[in-house]
Structure 1
Amino acid sequence: MTITTLLVVGLAPAADATEAGHHTGQLPGGATWVADVPESWNGTIILYSHGFGPLVAQDAPDAATATALLAGGYALVGSSYSGPSWWALESAVGDQFGALAALEAKIGAAKRTIAWGTSMGGLVSAREAEDPHHRIDGALTTCGLVAGALNLDDYQLHGEYALSHLLAPEQAIKLVRYGSQDEAAAAAATLSEVTSDAQATPAGRARIALAAALTNVPTWYTGAVPPAPRDYETQEAQQEQTLAGFVLGFVMTGRYQIELAAGGNSAATRGTDYRALFGGSSHAQQVRTLYRRAGLNLDADLAKLSRDADITADPGAVATLTRTSVPTGRLRVPELAIHTVADQLVPVEQENWYARRVAAAGTGHLLRQAFVQGAGHCAFQPAETIAALHALEARVSTGRWGRGAEPERLNAAAGTGRYVRFEVPHLVGAVSNAKVHGSGIEGGRRDG
């Protein structure tokens, strides 16, 4: 499966869709929308928000899930979003609500509307859950980028900077303020090659592990089960495969799209204490062990990173992303978030930051989070996401969560047995919740 397929999976228009069941249209701002309505509609609309990628309207995460939802009587609708960039958070919430209104104008008002978002779309649905007009009744975020763009840009930059500065200090690899998609792709190809080459030596492997820790890269990438807890070499090998194999290529070109939307670079290294930053990682013991076995001085490398850090953020870009692309945590409706425990593109650690954000806003009673024992971005089975949908619907209907979002109940409904109890690690490089309120955020703004 390609990266684009993984993140932007959508439905081709059904060849045999009837005029009554399949609807499309265009919104005043330029976004397109698509909807599918079953013959026996149950009165619920799923407002689906797609992930990062081409601005193409989608109304479900994949064909199998769409088929199951339509068979269950749900109507589906989603927009393409609009804007100059794939990072379309400026317009996405408005476009989604526009698509919902357009569908309801055709089929009548829904009895219930559930926002469902995937990846970047999970951030969209989290923001829809903050809508003061209560145009939705609940939100389901799946593999959601719920820690927002400021966190995403920061921790990815920390890891890229560590790889570049420790593995290839003589090369001037551009990490921010790309002038074009091609420039970003060229930088990503160079850094991926540097990382792949460094895997040949113990010193290189230790430094890759450090960069992976700063980037919140999980130690499980392939295989039915994760590497053993103390099998640090295998863990690092899977992190290197993750970084060099696809993550660097995806996130560095993705940075160009975010910069395009923000009007500049929102991330900084200057002023960062990398020793403190690294100390908050759940992978710290792995890194320390690999450094010791390689005969390297970890403290010296961390000091070098801190001393030489010179990338600053553009205040205007920080202000734009703070306004458009960071959840406030002020939920207006119940929200259920689900995540695989080893997500390479949207680390599960984002759920830790988001839960604290929601709690700080005083709406923690509306949020529940559930975790699937699996590796991969958005690597859910349709039955697992539909079980989560039903748990959310029960909360909307009854006004209480009960045990509906606990692993045992979700597994019973899904029949897969993969929901587990999981303690979410701290997000390395996280923007302090106390500081995400204005545009003056610079280096040194992290929780650690």
Structure 2
Amino acid sequence: MSPHVRTRILGVAAVAAGALVSAGLVAPAAVAATPGEYSGSLPTGTTWLASVPSDWNGTVLLYSHGYRPSFVPGNPASVAPSDATKALLLEEGYALVGSSYAASGWAVPTAVDDQLQSLDAMLDQTGLDPDHILAYGTSMGGLVTGRIAESAGDVIEGAMPTCGLMEGGVDLNNYQLDGAHAIDQLLAPAQDIDIEGYATLNDAFAASSQLSAAVEAGQQTPEGRARVALAAALFHLSDGVVAADAPTDPAVAQEALFSQLVGTIGFVTPGRFDIESTAGGNATWNVGVDYQKLFAQSADRGLVRELYRQAGLDLRADLAALTATADVVADPGSVETLRASSGLTGDLEMPVLSLHTLDDVLAPVQVEQEYAEDVQSARDQRLLRQYFVDHVGHCNFTPAEIAAGIETLMDRVESGHWRGQSAELMNRLAASLDESGSAFVSTKPGEFLADRERR
């Protein structure tokens, strides 16, 4: 067994594994692994799955899945983001394992322990004695993977968050609050819309309906369309096409922003209820935010300014109004709870390779700028590499891109240093692994807008 996994999972996980054996939920003896599918459950209610290939290469991949709303039935364990990706990784010889987490919803506070305990149970049941264990995950699971990278260096040797919420739970809440604030104040000023602090799920759904209706109504006039674009810009939305096809007509670009905004509101507003429930209250604020300064860093500022010009509106006046009406105050305890349970410090215990698409409505690419800044502040930038693919959609990676990222991370773990891997080389590597295609590009993400201190 590699010295990196000699303690296998943490003291608490060893206790949990003993409880599983006593309960008869896992095989009590470690035997030579048989290729195939494995499963089990933990006393916490977490379930796990594993797949072992016939030609195992000695590495186990621990997969962390994304957010599943508490109000949507079903919370199965997953070992990969798609069946095609699972098949390719098994073909490459990796053993796969992943859990459901203890519950659906905003599961980040328990997810690291859920994952590590599931890994321990899987190793006990399969009898695998890995040379290496890597972690990777998608979306919320990317954030979970980021937390693993900061806490499990005695077990895991490398981590790959993909389309991760690398800004953490607090900043996630804040940038989405900015977009909702713009809708509330500029498109529905006569209404009383609650944009945070939901006592019940029904309250969150009601707010979602009001915000969506305001955007739909605003889309009917030039003035409304300009303000819709401003709200979308604060939501870090973009035109919804690959970079080479970016529209030059402001009207076409605005229509794309409108479509993305409507779809995003319907998902993130009820999702805020899950986060607030986990944090114990509202962990978001905009008191003291200068929206003129904030907007000046937006990737969509040129488009918004042109739409305001065409509509004959005063953009400065609208931004000043947003600043003047920014009165949301966070619950201090909820902020600290969410920051401690769902945040990242950038203090890495292992190499990290992140993957992100350029156009992701739920995990905007700008969060990678925030993450890189955190890692640099912790003086661990030598451990981080970030790669980008020119795709549209949340976590829209091909199996080849995922496999190329894992292969590159594995090379870093084994060699002890990052080799020169340009976008071109990553595309060549992906093509050598699978025919699903790749679109790695060299780019630098823009500024993340909602990095702020609480007042």
Please give the root-mean-square deviation of Cα atoms over the aligned residues, in Å.
1.6
Aligned to 1:248: 265
Q: How many Å separate the matches in 2 of 1:147 and 1:119? A: 11
Aligned to 1:168: 188
Among 206, 220, 226, the residue aligned to 2:245: 226
Q: How many Å separate the matches in 2 of 1:299 and 1:189? A: 28
> Shift in Å at residue 227 of structure 1?
2.2
Task: Tell me: CA distance 1:225–1:351, structure 2 relative to 1, closer, same or farther (3 Å).
Answer: same
Q: How many Å separate the matches in 2 of 1:392 and 1:335? A: 7
Task: Tell me: CA distance 1:89–1:417, structure 2 relative to 1, closer, same or farther (3 Å).
Answer: closer
Aligned to 1:134: 154
Note if 1:67 corresponds to 2:73: no
Contact 1:215-1:428 at 8 Å conserved across structures: no
> Shift in Å at residue 399 of structure 1?
0.9
Aligned to 1:238, the other structure's residue is in SS state helix
Aligned to 1:240, the other structure's residue is in SS state helix
Among 279, 296, 299, the residue aligned to 1:279: 296
Contact 2:401-2:438 at 8 Å conserved across structures: no
Aligned to 1:175, the other structure's residue is in SS state coil
Aligned to 1:111: 131
Q: Deviations over 1:262-293 (max 9, x none)?
A: 00111112221111111121211211111111
Q: How many Å separate the matches in 1 of 2:35 and 2:427? A: 36
Aligned to 2:245, the other structure's residue is in SS state coil
Aligned to 2:117: 98
Aligned to 1:328, the other structure's residue is in SS state coil
Runs of 4+ aligned structure 1 residues displaced above 6 Å come to none
Q: How many Å separate the matches in 2 of 1:30 and 1:118? A: 22
Contact 2:242-2:390 at 8 Å conserved across structures: no
Q: How many Å separate the matches in 2 of 1:110 and 1:247? A: 41
Contact 2:67-2:140 at 8 Å conserved across structures: yes
Q: Deviations over 1:120-139 (max 9, x none)?
A: 00000011111254211111
Aligned to 2:108, the other structure's residue is in SS state coil
Aligned to 2:37: 22
Aligned to 1:91, the other structure's residue is in SS state helix
Among 252, 274, 277, the residue aligned to 1:260: 277
Structure 1 residues not aligned, in runs of 5+: 1-17, 436-440, 443-448
In the TM superposition, what are the counterparts of 1:372-387 in structure 2 within 5 Å? 372-387=389-404
Aligned to 2:234: 214
In the TM superposition, what are the counterparts of 1:48-447 in structure 2 within 5 Å? 48-53=63-68, 55-83=75-103, 86-106=105-125, 107-219=127-239, 221-222=240-241, 225-228=244-247, 230-244=248-262, 246-404=263-421, 406-415=422-431, 416-431=437-452, 441-442=454-455
Task: Give TM-score, length-normalised by structure 2.
Answer: 0.87
Q: How many Å separate the matches in 1 of 2:345 and 2:322? A: 32
Q: How many Å separate the matches in 1 of 2:438 and 2:138? A: 22
Q: Deviations over 1:229-288 (max 9, x none)?
A: x432222211100011x1000000110010011001111122211111111212112111
Task: Tell me: CA distance 1:258–1:46, structure 2 relative to 1, closer, same or farther (3 Å).
Answer: same
Aligned to 1:47: 62
Count how many residue pairs are aligned between Structure 1 and Structure 2: 412
Contact 2:242-2:391 at 8 Å conserved across structures: no
Q: How many Å separate the matches in 2 of 1:133 and 1:424? A: 28
In the TM superposition, what are the counterparts of 1:1-40 in structure 2 within 5 Å? 21-40=36-55
Task: Tell me: CA distance 1:235–1:329, structure 2 relative to 1, closer, same or farther (3 Å).
Answer: same
Contact 1:227-1:234 at 8 Å conserved across structures: no
Aligned to 1:5: none
Q: How many Å separate the matches in 2 of 1:273 and 1:96? A: 40
Q: How many Å separate the matches in 1 of 2:349 and 2:242? A: 39
The structure whose Rg is larger is 2
Q: How many Å separate the matches in 1 of 2:251 and 2:244? A: 16
Contact 1:328-1:361 at 8 Å conserved across structures: yes
Task: Tell me: CA distance 1:284–1:87, structure 2 relative to 1, closer, same or farther (3 Å).
Answer: same
> Shift in Å at residue 56 of structure 1?
2.5
The AA in structure 2 aligned to 1:45 is V
Q: Deviations over 1:52-102 (max 9, x none)?
A: 00542111111011111112221111111124x510111000110001111
> Shift in Å at residue 216 of structure 1?
0.9
Q: How many Å separate the matches in 1 of 2:284 and 2:55? A: 49
Q: How many Å separate the matches in 2 of 1:194 and 1:250? A: 16
Q: How many Å separate the matches in 2 of 1:299 and 1:268? A: 22
> Shift in Å at residue 39 of structure 1?
2.2
> Shift in Å at residue 186 of structure 1?
2.0
Task: Give TM-score, length-normalised by structure 1.
Answer: 0.89
> Shift in Å at residue 114 of structure 1?
0.8
The percent of aligned pairs where both chains have the same amino acid is: 43
